[in-house]
Amino acid sequence: MLEPVNFKAKHGGAKEEGLIDFSASVNPYPPEWVEEMFERAKEISGRYPYWDELEEKLGDLVGEEVTVTAGITEALYLLGPALKGKTVIIPRHTYEEYERVSRIFGAEVVKGPNDPGELAKLVTQGSVVFFCNPNNPDGKFYRGRELKPLIDAVEDTNSLLILDEAFIDFVKRPESPEGESIVKLRTFTKSYGLPGIRVGYVIGFPEYFRSVRMPWSIGSTGVAFLEFLLEDGFEHLKRTMPLIWKEKSRLERELGVRSDANFFIMRVGNAREFVERVKSRGILVRDCSSFGLPEFVRFSVRRPEENDILLKILKDVIQRT
């Protein structure tokens, strides 16, 4: 009666200990208040977590009305009822969960170039477009003027643009477009270096998302995180992003790579073999085969001493290839 969905998405992140994990693209500097946050989570874990007031305060901090979700992943699945029977347009070489969610809910998937202008040509009446900005896995960030053809096409056809801004905090001088046909998805998983704490938010269509949201989805740890985040007021990001940008520039110079986010892709030949070779040296990078890029690996920016190790191993392995 229940048939499995014939599409599997793969994700980064170490599943074994003892490796320096460059496969997950997160802030390597966790907040100073993490231990206090966990103590607070223990205090409130004996009751059902409600966060209406925190959600409102987060909206004040962000400057727009928000809907809190258990990371972007929950938000994607909350879109399910809106995808059923629709044509869903997804760029090639992007986050796989868009396609998985679309297929689960019976949408027709159309693939196109990861270019806003070219993707706009595929938009039809009442369709849904997924666009990751900056894109995963290549880190390319498109500014408002570059996104305009896609936004115009969506508005002209009564369609919907799902703009995944998971990595926007890592972009220097970021900008985010406005529009009545845009849903913006954001998360704290990446920028606060806490992927195990599932807290994010949606901008746009709050009545819809709150009507389909699962009760208590972020749990007591997520509520505690929001409490400390609001007290922090994004100061943690202001302190740590310049550290990441400095190391990012160093990796760009040393390896000849380029990105607008906190991660890079690099052509290495056989990605699967390359991952195993560097893994034997103690580091984990992401095989991009699941993105349709079998000759590329993705790696993130970490702390200086860890990046020293990455540079040494990558250069050595590449030289021996």
Tell me the C-alpha distance between 287 and 293, whole Å: 8
**What residues contact residue 138 under an 8 Å CB cut-off, 6+ apart?**
93, 114, 259, 265
State residue 6's pLDDT score. 67
State residue 265's pLDDT score. 97
* Cβ atoms of 24 and 195 closer than 8 Å: yes
| pLDDT tens string 289-308 | 999 999 999 999 999 999 99
* Cβ atoms of 279 and 157 closer than 8 Å: no
State residue 18's pLDDT score. 81
Splitting the chain (321 residues) into consecutive groups of 10 residues, what average pLDDT does each group show?
64 69 95 96 93 95 96 95 95 94 95 95 97 97 96 97 98 94 96 93 96 92 97 96 98 97 96 95 95 96 98 89 65
State residue 231's pLDDT score. 96
In terms of residues, how long is the chain?
321
- For 280-311, b/e burial (b = at least 16 CB within 10 A) is eeebbbbbbbbbebeebbbbbbbeeebbeebe
With H, G, I as helix, E, B as strand and everything else as coil, classify residue 7.
coil
State residue 284's pLDDT score. 96
Tell me the C-alpha distance between 264 and 251, whole Å: 9
| Helix (H), strand (E) counts: the chain | 12, 12
